[in-house]
Amino acid sequence: MSMSNTTENDVLLMMLKGTDPAWRTASTLYISLHTADPGETGTAITNETSYGGYSRVPVIKASGWSDGGSTFSNDALIQFPQCTSGTVTLMYFGVVTTASGAGQLLVSGQLSSNLGVSAGIQPQFAAGDLDVTAD
């Protein structure tokens, strides 16, 4: 699990200077899927999957995550659109600020196992499958 460098800087600015990051007051964030590590310098589109039919999934901040102390997990099923074309292997997920485009990657993490996706497959993650930690 890794915060992007931009997010790390946002957190320090908030803590030390009282500067609110633009994403703090947003009620919704988005889950993205990636074929490789987007890395700490990446954005929402870095290594983002592009299978036919793919789109990011919105998650409401106030109710979308369970607080387990140092680990937060998705509170409910997260279901992506069914693949209509293409074949990809998904390896990472991200929490990003925008429904599409090069928004800010807040945090990213590796999936517990790679997920092969091709036509007819609908990626989904049961409640508790996606963990976000502050390492």
Distance (Å, whole) CA 111 – CA 123? 12
> Is the pLDDT higher at 135 or at 64?
64
The pLDDT-based confidence of 135 (bands split at 50, 70, 90) is low
Averaged pLDDT of the chain = 95
Tally of CB atoms within 10 A around 87: 11
- Listed in sequence order, the DSSP H helices in 1-135 are 5-17
- 134 band by pLDDT with thresholds 50, 70 and 90: confident
**What pLDDT sits at residue 62?**
87
* Model confidence band, residue 133 (pLDDT cutoffs 50, 70, 90): confident
In a domain, 134, yes or no: no
Report if residue 59 sits inside a domain: yes
Instruction: Report yes or no on 90 lying in a domain.
Output: yes
pLDDT band per the 50, 70, 90 thresholds, residue 82? very high
117 in Cβ contact with 87 (< 8 Å): yes
Q: Answer whether residue 94 is part of any domain.
A: yes
Judge residue 94's burial from the number of C-beta atoms within 10 Å of its C-beta, 0-12 exposed, 13-18 middle, 19 or more buried.
buried
Question: Domain span at residue 96?
Answer: 2-66+73-127
Of the ranges 58-62, 100-104, 105-109, 130-134, which one carries the lowest mean pLDDT score? 130-134
Q: List Cα–Cα distances, 39 to 25, 31, 59, 69, 106, in angstroms.
A: 25, 16, 22, 24, 11
For the entire predicted model, the pTM comes to 0.93
Domain contains 135: no
Q: Within the chain, how many helices (H) and strands (E) appear?
A: 1, 10
Quote the number of domains for the chain. Answer: 1
